[in-house]
Amino acid sequence: MALATAESYDYDVFLSFRGTDTRHGFTDCHYNFMVDAGIRVFRDDDELSVGQQINKILLAIENSRICMPVLSRGFASSTWCLHEFAKMIIKSIGLPTSK
């Protein structure tokens, strides 16, 4: 299996985080650092509205070279964070996914 080049991805990094825990601190700091370094980062800046952004986020995971979960106190209690995390694992081991 050939490795995909950076150009074949829309994003270099997908940030997965629990917004209420880390959005205005740790995650913002790392996001800004990476963007300033020229790294293409996907970060969901809006609160998830049911059914509307789910596909956008799942597609961003598929189209990111690296997926980076930001673990926090509430990460594991968020159904959506766990859903994203499962999608990242499936992608990392190369299982086929439905888009």
pLDDT in tens, 31-70: 999 999 999 999 987 555 655 677 888 899 999 999 999 9
Query: In terms of Cα–Cα distance, which of 33, 20, 31 is closest to 81?
Result: 20
Q: What tokens appear for 68 in the block? A: 């980076």
Using one digit for the tens of pLDDT, what is the confidence trace for 70-85? Answer: 999 999 999 989 999 9
Instruction: Determine the Cα–Cα distance for residues 67 and 13; give it in Å rounded to an integer.
Output: 6
Catalytic status, residue 7:
no
Q: Of 89, 71, 68, nearest to 21 (Cα)?
A: 71
- Tell me which amino acid residue 49 is: S
Inter-residue contact 87 to 97 (CB < 8 Å): yes
Q: Confidence band (pLDDT; 50, 70, 90) for 2?
A: very low
Tell me the pTM: 0.81
Task: State CA 41 to chain mean position distance.
Answer: 9
Q: Which domains does the chain have, with CATH numbers?
A: 9-92 (3.40.50.10140)
Among candidate residues 7, 47, 62, 84, the one labeled active-site is: 84
Q: Which helix (H) or strand (E) element contains residue 12?
A: strand 11-17
Residue (of 60, 61, 77, 59) closest to 20 by Cα position: 77
